């Protein structure tokens, strides 16, 4: 394109005049409760280290009264523990101007905070069943089905570079029995890392230390009856609400 033609083109303008809002969550220190112990790897390594190299495998072990979690740390991230025992942990990156470094900055800080909160106080998710005849109950898996599961060989999937080695989870012992208006009950095996309570036939409370696994299991249950906007029936998560639609009259 010639310079004269480029001069005739209109200048590009932004859709709004307000400045871009930047999150500073990555630079916020992570508080560590007194009942939580952290085991740190190398605090800083070369950010250009390939993830497949053993030197790039940095794992933080978080132990608390409710359990233990292992969090992998990318080479671009720098961990700065407090000089005082029990002080907060600060997360930084080698080059905050690079997009790849900035994206890992806030992510690592959030994952570390979630792990510390999970092993110290835990997480819980409440599900509500709304619909005529909708019921939920927790029951043990019959022994014949547990024997069938134990007889099926399970393979250990390869772990990603830099991640902790994959360990096969124990086989489930209980299952969730849902009546959601189908001609058959919906049976969902409960993972060992998640605790399920049914204080009322239409209320399910999930609790655990891993926030991600808890959310995935809640989404798995909700998938069987997503809230619909005409009669307001379905499985609702927490204080979830939907906008109702008017049914067209013939």
Q: Which of 82-86, 119-123, 132-136, 222-226 bottoms out in mean pLDDT, i.e. has the lowest? A: 82-86
Q: Average pLDDT for residues 142-166, to the nearest whole number?
A: 85
Phi, psi of 103 (to 5 degrees): -65, -30
Output the furthest CA–CA distance in the chain (Å, rounded): 81
Which residues, other chains included, contact 203 with Cβ-Cβ below 8 Å and sequence gap of 6+?
Answer: 126, 127, 128, 129, 136
Could you write out the DSSP letters of every residue in 138-181?
EEEPPHHHHHHHHHS---PPPPPTTSPPP-PPPPP-EEEEEE-S
Residue 142 banded pLDDT, cuts 50, 70, 90: very high
Contact present, 35 and 89 (Cβ < 8 Å): no
- Looking up tokens 């209320």 gives 203
pLDDT at 197: 96
Question: What sections of the chain are H helices per DSSP?
Answer: 3-8, 99-120, 143-151, 211-222
pTM: 0.84
Position 5 pLDDT exceeds 70: no
Position 185 pLDDT exceeds 80: yes
- For 22, 40, 63, 99, the CA distances from 103, given in Å and listed in that order, are 12, 22, 26, 6
Neighbours of 130 (CB within 10 A): 14
Instruction: Give CATH for domain 124-152+171-237.
Output: 3.90.930.12
pLDDT at 240: 87
pLDDT digits (tens, 9 = 90+) for 12-42: 555 556 555 566 788 889 999 999 999 998 8
pLDDT at 109: 93
On average, the pLDDT of the chain sits at 87
Q: What is the topology classification, in CATH, of domain 25-121?
A: Outer Surface Protein A; domain 3 (3.90.930)
pLDDT digits (tens, 9 = 90+) for 186-213: 999 999 899 999 999 999 999 999 999 9
Q: Which of 60-69, 133-142, 165-174, 180-189 bottoms out in mean pLDDT, i.e. has the lowest? A: 165-174
Position 160 pLDDT exceeds 80: no
Position 104 pLDDT exceeds 70: yes
Comma-separated ranges of CATH 3.90.930.12 domains in the chain:
25-121, 124-152+171-237
Residue 55 banded pLDDT, cuts 50, 70, 90: confident
Six-digit token pair at 220? 């798995």
pLDDT at 168: 86
Neighbours of 215 (CB within 10 A): 15
pLDDT digits (tens, 9 = 90+) for 110-121: 999 999 999 999
Six-digit token pair at 102? 């900035």
């Amino acid at each position: 394109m010639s310079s004269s033609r480029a001069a005739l083109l209109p200048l590009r303008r932004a859709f709004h005049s307000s400045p871009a809002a930047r999150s500073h969550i990555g630079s916020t220190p992570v508080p560590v409760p007194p009942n939580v112990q952290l085991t740190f790897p190398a605090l800083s390594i070369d950010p250009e280290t390939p993830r497949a190299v053993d030197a790039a495998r940095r794992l933080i072990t978080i132990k608390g009264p409710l359990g233990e979690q292992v969090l992998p740390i990318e080479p671009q991230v720098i961990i700065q523990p407090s000089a005082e025992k029990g002080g907060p942990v600060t997360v930084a990156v080698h080059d905050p101007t690079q997009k790849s470094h900035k994206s890992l900055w806030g992510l690592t800080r959030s994952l570390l905070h979630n792990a510390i909160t999970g092993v110290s106080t835990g997480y819980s998710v409440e599900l509500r069943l709304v619909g005529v005849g909708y019921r939920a109950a927790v029951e043990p898996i019959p022994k014949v089905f547990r024997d069938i599961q134990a007889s099926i060989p399970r393979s250990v999937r390869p772990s990603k570079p830099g991640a902790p080695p994959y360990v096969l989870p124990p086989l489930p012992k209980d299952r969730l029995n849902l009546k959601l208006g189908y001609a058959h009950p919906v049976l969902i095996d409960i993972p060992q890392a998640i605790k399920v309570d049914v204080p009322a036939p239409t209320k399910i409370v999930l609790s655990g230390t891993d926030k991600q696994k808890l959310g995935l299991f809640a989404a798995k249950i909700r998938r069987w009856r997503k809230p619909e906007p005409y009669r307001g029936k379905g499985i609702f998560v927490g204080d979830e609400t939907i906008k109702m639609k008017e049914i067209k009259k013939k």
